[in-house]
Structure 1
Amino acid sequence: MNEILKQKANDIKLLLTDCDGVLTDAGVYYGDIGELLKKFSMRDGMGVERLRKYAGIETGIITGELSASVTKRADKLGIAELHLGAKNKPAVFNEIINRLGLQPHEVAYIGDDYNDLEVMKLAAITACPADALPQVKAQVNMVCELKGGEGCFREFAEWLIEAKNEASMYPVGQGYIILTNGRKIGKGEPAYIIAEIGINHNGSLETAKQLIDEAVAAKADAVKFQKRTPEICVPKDQWEIMRDTPWGRISYIDYKRKTEFGIAEYAAIDQYCKKLGIDWFVSPWDTNAVDFMEHFDTVIYKLASASLTDLALIQRILETGKPLMLSTGMSTVKEIETTMAYIRNFDENYPLCIAHSTSAYPCPPQELNLKMIETLAAKYPGIPVGYSGHETGLATTVAAVAMGATFVERHFTLDRAMWGSDHAASVEPGGFQRLVKDIRDVETGAGDGVKKVYDSEIGPMKRLRVNISDEYKEKPVA
């Protein structure tokens, strides 16, 4: 990515776009009563949401069109800057930035036709779809690989997100890291809540999609899977041990193969998660699994507690450059220190966060040791510390957030009675919804630490207090 453009992208606060030929395919469609309609790409809609969420960039539409469907689409996506029937796009551009108090260097533009050429001269960064006119392609900073109405806006949006965050993509020692999609984990951010599906899909893609659906319904931030190469991870002396499974009585190695997803399943999961707007990633258990996962643009890698001392696996993850989440269950302080030293020797500023964990399934309350969250935060200041829990209740995970956990992870299942090793220590959909709600309530309830008298207290004050300060005597009751 061009360094000058990256610097420009850091200033962008508003992305303006033409509609016909960018957000739509430029086709002409009519409704039942002959009204002009438009065909929009769902991916472009997600681009609007992701720009707002991950880069703080709002979107505006300037178009010569007068279609009611454009208005409905803008309303659905929360686009306040909608300018239909625009005959003079440069004038509209200037009116918008003057009213919003923006400068031209804070605005990007994407268009495709002759009437976009003049307004493009005013914007800091410009782009066009793959099927734009040649004169437009010759003028813009970026020509998208996708066509209008087929995701070109989303492509440019993702470029802006990456460009805006790349310069400070992985700040270490500042209390937070930034995932590959621009999302922050750490100090000052809402807790990042992970529903670990792991292998609870039992080898079924349909079950995995149901779990993703439930995680989205619970408003989790991410789902996590596990990826193993069975021939590497299963000791050879256990390969032929027979085991009763849903597929009948088969060898242990065949059982492990049955529960592993391949390229087709993970490609489907990748598309499904992107469609639903939820992050996804995995815990790889061997270096081949990392190589496999590099086919996908996941947001982070998780190192399972069992792998904390696997330096070859850690090395392979570090070579990807993606952020790393360490889990510290079944580990001594010395082992944690050794792994941390290894990572810092690779790159002192490597993007890293640490999860306190106790690797018992399920874990009794007396072994949760949640004060380790504070201990790790004090030992590694500036590095986000979270919690990976395996208990059966919800209260202690909520307490972990109250004690400073910047992210939490719990195993997730459709039914704890399902066949499989991790289901019993997992949270069911209804429980996960309560967990997320309770965590958000705790975060909201924490407030800002500044004492104040709320409007809701004025009534009780006037009824109950003997001496009322002058500033509140005339204040109306809420």
Structure 2
Amino acid sequence: MKEILQQKAVRIKLLITDCDGVLTDGGVYYGDQGEDLKKFNIRDGMGVERLRKLAGVETAIITGEKSPSLVNRAKKLQIEELHLFIKDKVSVLDSLIRKYDLSAEEVAYIGDDYNDAAVMKLVGLTACPADALPGIKAIADYTCQTKGGDGSFREFAELIIEAKTSYVQLSSAKTGVITLSNGRRIGKGEKCYVIAEIGINHNGSLEIAKQLIDEAVAANVDAVKFQKRTPEICVPKDQWEVMRDTPWGRMSYIDYKRKTEFGIAEYATIDQYCKKVGIDWFVSAWDVPSVDFMEQFDTVMYKLASASLTDFALIQRILETGRPLMLSTGMSTMKEIEAALVFINQFDANYPLFVAHSTSAYPCRPEELNLKMIETLINKLPGIPIGYSGHETGLGTTVGAVAMGATFVERHFTLDRAMWGSDHAASVEPQGFQRLVRDIRDLEIAAGDGIKKVYESELAPMRRLRVNISDEFIEKSQLN
């Protein structure tokens, strides 16, 4: 039943509510100007705001009452669709559907009385308070634990918010394999795609960047990755004038970040150089202008850093490019990961997407790597290639990630871990990267096909050591 509710709730774009018996307790309160003493629950008001902010769902009110207090309440909560003294709620529902170009399945309704029944039979998702009439409870998809006026609207609103920010409905077209623009395939059944993240380890030097590309090619790496930022956006204003000791002398933090940031000339050189040596390249874009900048180049994908997982404006801009997106999940809760996936899914259910398990500690201790999350993500997202972005100091755990199902891996890359800079200590040096790629390829060969067989190399030991040899192997030995 919970799954059905989620499937219905994730489609909702408008929540309609009755007033008496839902937003209030249905009592009659007469003041000098009629029902101006009608009391509303503050939790329900917060539900309206949370629906709008977190789920993009607006609220409408259709009621048979005409209450001055309700008018004031709707104005305060910025509810534009307030329909008072309504006898035919179905007609109002039809007008709202036409006005906002909705389908009935995209509308939810919460009511408590028999005059709500006709509407409830037409919309996509329905609820009622705990003290609703028996006939209404019988047709409602969900019966709240709270009564009318005690927060039942908020309870229903939270159900919708939870569904829209956590329920990931993958397209059946997702196969778990993505083909890049250059024909390379990443995903289940393919060779692990190995990424050497140069990031900012070039320390602002194009020559160091080219050396790192050469070393990545020598290690048989599939791709190198850089980072692109707009310092004025990514550096907090209160950190701009903080002085730092750097290889170029003492300077403000903003000037240091500007000095280490590559521009059009450097990236044009990198683009040409990577094409010349035959290696893929792309970047982690940290802000919207950086995506605009990178669209000057035909990179194979974009990476969304773990720190940007909740930056929906940045995600939106990347999605607009149509390039595959590799999403990293460090420093994130499962709910935050699901919210990002829902956002991407709503943009395009078939969008080419990779998800990388990661822990954002530099360097990361083995007890915090949590490699079993790779299996968790594989089971939860069967149509999406799952990988691993590691920040540990050793190599074995990254090879282990591949053994656990990672279809791509990423490690920071440096010429020397002792170099000046924030990421070098958690990076892999050239010889280490050669061993890493070698061990991953050995693992892939060693994994085999899962079908039990006796190899030719085992026949001689069998003849020497086995007590009883079956007829099929006696015949095979004689043939040989």
Aligned to 2:299: 298
Q: Name the SS for the 1:202 alignment partner.
A: coil
For 1:250 and 1:233, how far apart are their aligned partners in 2?
18
Aligned to 1:187: 188
Aligned to 1:242: 243
**What does residue range 259-278 of structure 1 map to in structure 2 within 5 Å?**
259-278=260-279
AA aligned to 2:232 is: E
Q: Name the SS for the 1:316 alignment partner.
A: helix
Query: Structure 1's 261 and 432: CA in aligned 2 closer, same or farther, altered over 3 A?
Result: same
Query: Structure 1's 171 and 203: CA in aligned 2 closer, same or farther, altered over 3 A?
Result: farther
Flag structure 1 segments of 5+ consecutive residues without an equivalent: 1-169
**What does residue range 10-29 of structure 1 map to in structure 2 within 5 Å?**
none
Aligned to 2:405: 404
Aligned to 2:357: 356
For 1:171 and 1:438, how far apart are their aligned partners in 2?
34
CA displacement 1:398-453 (0-9 Å, x = unmatched): 00000000000000000000000000000000111111111111111000001111
Aligned to 1:387: 388
Aligned to 1:209: 210
Residue 196 (structure 1) aligned with residue 171 (structure 2): no
For 2:401 and 2:379, how far apart are their aligned partners in 1?
15
For 1:318 and 1:474, how far apart are their aligned partners in 2?
62
Whether contact under 8 Å (1:195, 1:215) holds in the other structure is: yes
For 2:358 and 2:472, how far apart are their aligned partners in 1?
50
**What does residue range 142-153 of structure 1 map to in structure 2 within 5 Å?**
none
Aligned to 2:177: 176
Report deviation, 1:475: 3.6
Aligned to 2:436: 435
Q: Name the SS for the 1:410 alignment partner.
A: strand
Aligned to 1:459: 460
Residue 258 (structure 1) aligned with residue 259 (structure 2): yes
Whether contact under 8 Å (1:365, 1:391) holds in the other structure is: yes
TM-score, normalised with respect to structure 2: 0.63
Report deviation, 1:472: 2.3
For 1:172 and 1:366, how far apart are their aligned partners in 2?
37
Whether contact under 8 Å (1:193, 1:409) holds in the other structure is: yes
Whether contact under 8 Å (1:222, 1:278) holds in the other structure is: yes
CA displacement 1:142-163 (0-9 Å, x = unmatched): xxxxxxxxxxxxxxxxxxxxxx
AA aligned to 2:179 is: I
Report deviation, 1:476: 5.1
For 1:373 and 1:180, how far apart are their aligned partners in 2?
26
Aligned to 1:307: 308
Q: Name the SS for the 1:289 alignment partner.
A: helix
Aligned to 1:281: 282
For 1:415 and 1:232, how far apart are their aligned partners in 2?
30
Q: Name the SS for the 2:443 alignment partner.
A: helix
For 1:420 and 1:176, how far apart are their aligned partners in 2?
36
Whether contact under 8 Å (1:190, 1:443) holds in the other structure is: yes
CA displacement 1:273-329 (0-9 Å, x = unmatched): 111111000000000000110011100100000000000100000000000000000
Aligned to 1:473: 474
CA displacement 1:46-105 (0-9 Å, x = unmatched): xxxxxxxxxxxxxxxxxxxxxxxxxxxxxxxxxxxxxxxxxxxxxxxxxxxxxxxxxxxx
Q: Name the SS for the 1:397 alignment partner.
A: helix
Q: Name the SS for the 1:224 alignment partner.
A: strand
CA displacement 1:189-241 (0-9 Å, x = unmatched): 01100000000000001000000011011111000000001111111111111
Q: Name the SS for the 2:227 alignment partner.
A: strand
Whether contact under 8 Å (1:226, 1:282) holds in the other structure is: yes
For 1:171 and 1:180, how far apart are their aligned partners in 2?
22
Aligned to 2:94: none
Query: Structure 1's 218 and 369: CA in aligned 2 closer, same or farther, altered over 3 A?
Result: same
Residue 220 (structure 1) aligned with residue 225 (structure 2): no
AA aligned to 1:362 is: P
Query: Structure 1's 187 and 458: CA in aligned 2 closer, same or farther, altered over 3 A?
Result: same
For 1:284 and 1:404, how far apart are their aligned partners in 2?
26
For 1:343 and 1:203, how far apart are their aligned partners in 2?
33
For 2:180 and 2:240, how far apart are their aligned partners in 1?
37
CA displacement 1:346-402 (0-9 Å, x = unmatched): 111111010000000000000000000011111111111000000000010000000
For 2:409 and 2:229, how far apart are their aligned partners in 1?
23
AA aligned to 2:282 is: F
For 1:337 and 1:467, how far apart are their aligned partners in 2?
57
AA aligned to 1:416 is: R
Aligned to 2:325: 324
Query: Structure 1's 299 and 330: CA in aligned 2 closer, same or farther, altered over 3 A?
Result: same
Q: Name the SS for the 1:329 alignment partner.
A: coil
**Runs ≥4 residues deviating over 3 A:** 474-478
Report deviation, 1:172: 5.0
Give identity over the alignment, percent.
80
AA aligned to 1:329 is: G
Query: Structure 1's 319 and 347: CA in aligned 2 closer, same or farther, altered over 3 A?
Result: same
Report deviation, 1:175: 1.1
For 1:261 and 1:196, how far apart are their aligned partners in 2?
15
Q: Name the SS for the 1:292 alignment partner.
A: helix
Q: Name the SS for the 2:245 alignment partner.
A: strand
CA displacement 1:20-61 (0-9 Å, x = unmatched): xxxxxxxxxxxxxxxxxxxxxxxxxxxxxxxxxxxxxxxxxx
Aligned to 2:58: none
Flag structure 2 segments of 5+ consecutive residues without an equivalent: 1-170
Q: Name the SS for the 2:411 alignment partner.
A: strand
AA aligned to 1:215 is: A
Whether contact under 8 Å (1:308, 1:336) holds in the other structure is: yes
Whether contact under 8 Å (1:172, 1:383) holds in the other structure is: no
AA aligned to 1:323 is: P
TM-score, normalised with respect to structure 1: 0.63
Whether contact under 8 Å (1:171, 1:177) holds in the other structure is: no
Q: Name the SS for the 1:369 alignment partner.
A: coil
For 2:458 and 2:377, how far apart are their aligned partners in 1?
39
The CA RMSD over aligned residues, in Å, is 1.4
Query: Structure 1's 183 and 470: CA in aligned 2 closer, same or farther, altered over 3 A?
Result: same
Q: Name the SS for the 1:330 alignment partner.
A: coil
Whether contact under 8 Å (1:373, 1:405) holds in the other structure is: yes
For 2:321 and 2:343, how far apart are their aligned partners in 1?
16
